[in-house]
Amino acid sequence: MARAVSTRRMAVATAAAWIIALIIFFPILYTIITSLKTETEAIKGFNLIPSFTLESYVTVQTQSGYLKPFMNSVVIAVGSTILALFVAIPAAWSMAFSPTRRTKDILMWMLSTKMMPAVAVLVPIYLIFRDFGLLDTRIGLTVMLTLINLPIVVWMLYTYFREIPGEILEAARMDGASLFDEIVHVLTPMAVPGIASTLLLNIILAWNESFWTIRLTTTNAAPLTAFIASFSSPQGLFWAKLSAASTLAIAPILIMGWFSQKQLVRGLTFGAVK
């Protein structure tokens, strides 16, 4: 009896979840489908079965090569994330384990820096970048994205580190562990899930950042967001080409996200779990 109920319940839950998931996923799915259509097919009306032509992908690739912006996106997203982690891990560690009265304020203040609208500071930043010769360089963009995402990274790590019970550290210290041992042997293993998911989240945010990545680059450092900007409204029919370019731009991060979702989810708590 109980068994039957739970099977029925499972069937209902499955059906409901699949319907919702398909609705949410539909825009992406339809983009991928449209990218495999011809241009005339793409605006003929609703149609889920494309003619599986790669015509649009070929056009997109010949028009502006995919590899260079892709590499730039990878370098900038991964680079800025690693840089941010280097700066943020010590900060979050000290905030979590030796909090002062002002820790909360510092944290809030860091978050509030994110509220400055990017457009308003474009000209000042552009001038700074020009004077330091950072325009259209991967280094400049990496530093920029590091700074933009640093508050979120610090906060995420802080909330995660705070969940690590302090007693364990005390115990280790009692046993005569040095600070180095403390970090490497005790803290790190416990912190890895949190760091991993912070890393993933930050890569996603950096990959998708599309204001500065377009404004501060021209050719050498232009990532996939700029690649997309060259397809967004050309003359003539462009649905299929736009879909192909979009698919190319989001595919890497989508695949990475799919494969690492377990790691992403495990640490994505922002201190929400206790």
State which of positions 11-40 bind other proteins (CB under 8 A). 13-14, 16-18, 20-22, 24-28, 30-31, 34, 39-40
Residues in contact with other proteins, counted by CB under 8 A, come to a total of: 112
Q: Which is nearer to other proteins, 24 or 171 (CB)?
A: 24
Alpha-carbon distance 122 to 128, whole Å?
10
Which letter, b or e, does each residue of 15-47 get, where b requires 16 or more Cβ atoms within 10 Å of its Cβ? eeeeeeeeeeeeeeeebbbbbbbebebbeeeee
Answer for which of 60, 77, 88, 191 binds other proteins (CB under 8 A) is 88
Work out whether 150 is an interface residue with other proteins (CB under 8 A).
yes
Region 113-142 residues binding other proteins, contact defined as CB under 8 A: 113-128, 130, 135-136
Q: Which amino acid is at 158?
A: Y
Answer for which of 98, 176, 180, 189 binds other proteins (CB under 8 A) is 98
Region 191-230 residues binding other proteins, contact defined as CB under 8 A: 204, 207-208, 210-211, 214-215, 218-219, 222, 224-226, 228-230
Question: What 3-state class would DSSP assign to 245?
Answer: helix
Question: What 3-state class would DSSP assign to 105?
Answer: helix
Q: CB of residue 52 vs other proteins: minimum separation in angstroms?
A: 18
Q: CB of residue 54 vs other proteins: minimum separation in angstroms?
A: 18
Which of 166, 108, 241, 80 is CA-nearest to residue 227? 241
CA-CA-CA-CA torsion sign (20, 22, 23, 25)? positive
